[in-house]
A and B are shown apart, each in its own frame.
Chain A
Amino acid sequence: MADTLSFLSGFNPAFALIVGGLITLALPNHAARKAIMIAAPILGLVAWFAVSEPGIYGLVELGPLTLETFRFDNLSRVWALVFLIASFLNGIYSIHDRSRWSDAASLVYAGSAVGAVFAGDLITLFFFWELTALASAPLIFAVGGAVSRRAGLRYLALQVLSGVLLLGGAALWYGQTGSWSFGGLGETSVFDLSGPAGWMLLAGIGIKAAFPLMHMWLPDAYPKASAFGAVVLSAFTTKMAIYALARGFAGEEILITIGLVMAVFPVFYAIVSNDLRQTLAYALINQLGFMTVAVGVGSELALNGAAANAFVGVLYMALFFMVMGAVLKRTGTVKATELGGLFKSMPISGLFAVIAGASVIGVPLFSGFVAKTLILSAVHYEHLTIAYFVLIFASAGVMELTALKVPYFAFFGEDRGHRVAEASTGQLVAMGITAFLCLYVGVNYQALYDLLPFATDYKPYKLESVVGQLQIVGAGLLAFALLLWMKLFPLKADRTVIDADWIYRYFGDAVARWGTAMARIVVQWSEGLLGAGFQGLGRKLHNLFSPGGTLSRDFPSGLMALWTAILLAGVLLVAYFSPA
């Protein structure tokens, strides 16, 4: 295969997506746009397969810099592949959607995520990093209305901040080491935390990886995106950040702690949140926690686990968001209190929701199992006992609660009388392929393991793993049943979950408003003062020089003549006091 495609070797798949996205932006024809939405990821996939061996391709000379835009190695290829697959699935899923902006944004966004993963130097990384921020924001704005606009702006602000931190860290790193490189072929743990550069880079990456207290953008923005938008958003940004962590900080022990917190704290929010897509957003953070722990452990097995989890995570979270998107499209809501009994109307979607749930939980034969056991084993082998048990708890608690809650309240549970049509064909096809992949990876796990960064002969289906996992599943089911029995589920009232995001939602918002108001006052005040100061001198000249007063709001020449004199005086003074 690689031989016949050799002419495409070294062609960066990111460009296929980005160029495709730009073309869709200009195309008025719906069918043509959709064709590109599907063709561009396919071209990207072909280009991915065309690379015969790892290497650094796509060198761009930029003045004194040489940018490595296409580093294809054991680490980057896994992420790139799943991003390309996700982009392809998105194309199918959105086939009936008529938003040109979402189409273009989703392609450019996916392309920039692929580009970031392939970036071999920090400048390229920063470029694509910021591009993901800019290209993903329209997916939230596309909904329209004040709520999504403000959520989108909050999202954009944090994402751009992440890029700025990354750039700042990169510059400091350059100052420290004299190199813009983001590691060579196959290199991990490029950075260290010995100086401010490393911390700044970690903060920049941490925002996108939804580290605790930096995570608020995720459950804030994702539920407010459009049905299709949330599907796209769930795939790229956070996984890209996990990649950057694995590349830059593998084996940093602090990541284990951070990851454990991420894996556990969403439990409360996942239970109380009434918005099922928000519940999914918290579940996503929980999974990111697993991956962050794996990166923190840093052994080959652990990094394999992080990569495998990222791979299957993209797929099953996409499947979940696809199902909820279909529900949102049909019923107009994703609130737990307003849904229920949909299985009668949407049986196929319901089935897919169950498959997604089983994958998330890690039921044997589903994709989550083969990935999660890698991480659990890696933690176990390193004798990190506390971490191991926290992860077990997180699996039983968070993962399952969310994975059971979403299908249960949407498709089963109390019937709320929604009688709607099944999801549209395009959506069903996309969900079907994704569900198939979830199952396929779970059964034919070797296909996934062959892709992982390091060669492995790990066997997931060992008796103790299977039994252990089944125990976790059982514990989770018990907890879920208990909550139902205690009538903690479903919540009676719709409530806004106040998370750490109040810091910027309320406080930040207030500061911004206050700042704007103050700035306006200061400007008015200083304008008035300046105006009064120059009035006497300026009026005569002004009347002279601007007949008709058309330029009355502009500066009179006299003011500028004055500036000239002031400047002359300044230069003379400086010159006078200078040594010869």
Chain B
Amino acid sequence: MTDAYFLPAAIVAHAPALLVAVPLILSTVAAAIPSGRAAWGLAFVSAMVALLCAIELFLGTRGEYAIISYAMGGWEPPYGIEFRIDGLNAALLLLLSSTGLLALLFALPSVADEIDKRKQSLFYAAFLLCFAGLSGVAATGDAFNLFVFLEISSIGTYAIIAMGHQNDRRALTASFNYLVMGTIGATFFVIGIGFLYMATGTLNMADIAQTIAAQPGNRVVEVGFAFILVGVGLKAALFPLHLWLPNAYAFAPNFVTTFLAATATKVAFYVIIRFSFDVFSIDSGFVQNTLTYVVTPLAISGMIVASLQALFQSDARRLLAYSSVAQVGYMLLGLGMATAAGVAAGSLHLLNHALMKGALFMALGAFAYCYGVRRIDDLKGLGQAMPFTSAAFTIGALSLIGVPFTAGFVSKFYLIQAALDNDWWWAVVAILAASVLAVFYCYRMLVTIWVNPAPTEGLLPNGHIRKVPLLITVPLWVLALANLYFGTNAGFMVDMAQTAAQAAINGGVS
């Protein structure tokens, strides 16, 4: 255990558990109280606690190969459940809790607007389940426990997506589709875990890794890997398993989209990295070949096809959702390179993408809140009606394109460099092509926003127009400025991503 940095040592000793336990427990409380505002307060407190713990853990893992291992309930691993934090998931936890906190600020006005008053506390309870589940997935070092948390987060997610934007009935079908798909994914995952258990007799991930290393060429292990990759790939919206994502993002409440876009696929992506590198060994032929011949082509087709699909959308959030699928392609491409530079670039893009999509979806949420608009055509003239929100949206869009001086440029730059290191010039071509497509779909939105006179009335019932609440403006601009800041001072993010990649590559053997 490392030293405490700013929290009391007694709390720090249990930080990995608190990170998950606090939201989990408070979700039951939130479900029991009737007031939506009080429930929001609970959610906010738990996100705050999670953030503090995450910062503490993050600082604790900065050292060389520093790993924080926490035995749940005092049962020592490999028999008990282990929470295991290293540079890779510490970065993810930090991202998860900080974007969660920012999204929650945005949630107060947005959720009050979109969700029925009587359901708000239940909504926050479901959100906390989802949040706890995602944190659990990121923190745990136990394969079966990971499955449990994956399911916890999924169940919470299904519920909050189904709530729908302004009671949109289509959210029900979107959520149901996601439920079916997510369940298939989780089933595949647990089947994979079953195979691994068969082959190794253990569920602790580090333990599995050691046992697998001792039995090369075991077909059972390979089958387990296939099931796990496909199962989690579905959750990560690996093309072509992304079909659940556009509708889920487009019809969910704005807050949910913002939160999920910044976190959910990221956690699944983390699981893929963790399993490919640490549980299985990247040196084994089947992992390497799968990454090269399956993941990479899919990543590239995802980048291109989803960007093309984004181009033809009429709903702004659907457009961004397809763009998210394309961005997952970028990350997976980094992973597919199977090098430290590639994984670092992928992880960097993961972090940056959370910043840009967080800002973009939040700005769309603000548009929806003030003018009730959702279609791209309805964004007309909002640049004049809501200049500050539109400016933040623009920053996010520029970052998404990868314009220099924004965060998006940095990660694409590293990605291209990693591809060049591998001599994958065709990957560079694909990255540039997808970026050009991104220029087009962002241009479409930006032009609609800026090149029209301000609308005289909104699309809310009786043409009402509302002002942007401070609770939306502040987190929105935090994210937008973060895009600019990390675009020019990339050091912190790059360090984080490189430490993460290093942790992923070292993790398996320790």
Which residues of A are at the interface with B, using a C-beta cutoff of 8 A? 25-26, 28, 60-65, 67, 101, 123, 127, 545-548, 550-551, 554-555, 557, 559-561, 563-564, 567-568, 570-572, 574-580
The number of residue pairs between A and B whose CB atoms lie closer than 8 Å in the complex comes to 122
Some 18 contacts from A to B, beta carbons below 8 A apart, are: A25-B450, A28-B384, A60-B405, A62-B410, A62-B488, A63-B410, A63-B414, A123-B404, A548-B173, A550-B173, A551-B247, A564-B234, A567-B230, A567-B233, A567-B294, A571-B290, A574-B294, A580-B217
How far in angstroms is the closest Cβ of chain B from A145? 16
B425-455 vs A, CB cutoff 8 Å, 1 = contact: the mask equals 0000000000000000000000000110000
Which residue of B is nearest A567, CB measured? B230
Q: Which of B188, B243, B284, B384 contacts A560 (CB 8 A)?
A: B243
Q: Are B404 and A580 in contact, CB atoms less than 8 angstroms apart?
A: no
- Taking CB atoms, residues of chain A closer than 8 Å to B284 are 580
How far in angstroms is the closest Cβ of chain A from B195? 12
How far is it, in angstroms, between the C-alpha of A564 and the C-alpha of B231 when the chains are bound? 8
How far in angstroms is the closest Cβ of chain A from B412? 11
Q: Are B173 and A551 in contact, CB atoms less than 8 angstroms apart?
A: yes
Which residues of B are at the interface with A, using a C-beta cutoff of 8 A? 169-170, 173-174, 176-177, 180-181, 184-185, 188, 216-217, 219, 222-223, 225-227, 229-230, 233-234, 238, 240-241, 243-244, 247, 284-286, 288-290, 293-294, 298, 384, 387, 404-405, 409-410, 413-414, 417, 450-451, 487-491, 494
Q: Are B226 and A557 in contact, CB atoms less than 8 angstroms apart?
A: no
Q: Are B181 and A551 in contact, CB atoms less than 8 angstroms apart?
A: no
Q: Are B170 and A551 in contact, CB atoms less than 8 angstroms apart?
A: yes
How far is it, in angstroms, between the C-alpha of A579 and the C-alpha of B289 when the chains are bound? 9
Q: Which of A25, A26, A60, A548 contacts B488 (CB 8 A)?
A: A60
Q: Which of A65, A561, A564, A574 contacts B293 (CB 8 A)?
A: A574
How far is it, in angstroms, between the C-alpha of A109 and the C-alpha of B176 when the chains are bound? 50
How far in angstroms is the closest Cβ of chain A from B215? 9
Which residue of A is nearest B228, CB measured? A571
Which residue of A is nearest B191, CB measured? A568
How far in angstroms is the closest Cβ of chain A from B176? 7
How far in angstroms is the closest Cβ of chain B from A574? 5
Q: Are A571 and B243 in contact, CB atoms less than 8 angstroms apart?
A: no
How far in angstroms is the closest Cβ of chain B from A141? 9
Q: Are A127 and B286 in contact, CB atoms less than 8 angstroms apart?
A: no
Q: Which of A60, A65, A578 contacts B288 (CB 8 A)?
A: A578
- Taking CB atoms, residues of chain A closer than 8 Å to B286 are 574-575, 578, 580
Given contacts A63-B414, A580-B285, contact A568 B188 (CB under 8 A): yes
How far is it, in angstroms, between the C-alpha of A123 and the C-alpha of B412 when the chains are bound? 14
Q: Which of B180, B241, B450, B490 contacts A62 (CB 8 A)?
A: B490
Which residue of B is nearest A555, CB measured? B243
How far in angstroms is the closest Cβ of chain A from B383? 8
Q: Are B226 and A61 in contact, CB atoms less than 8 angstroms apart?
A: no
- Taking CB atoms, residues of chain B closer than 8 Å to A123 are 404
Q: Are B170 and A574 in contact, CB atoms less than 8 angstroms apart?
A: no
- Taking CB atoms, residues of chain B closer than 8 Å to A572 are 222-223, 226
Q: Are A579 and B285 in contact, CB atoms less than 8 angstroms apart?
A: yes
Which residue of A is nearest B224, CB measured? A575
Q: Which of A60, A561, A577 contacts B181 (CB 8 A)?
A: A561
Q: Are B488 and A567 in contact, CB atoms less than 8 angstroms apart?
A: no
Given contacts A545-B173, A578-B288, contact A571 B226 (CB under 8 A): yes
Which residue of A is nearest B218, CB measured? A580
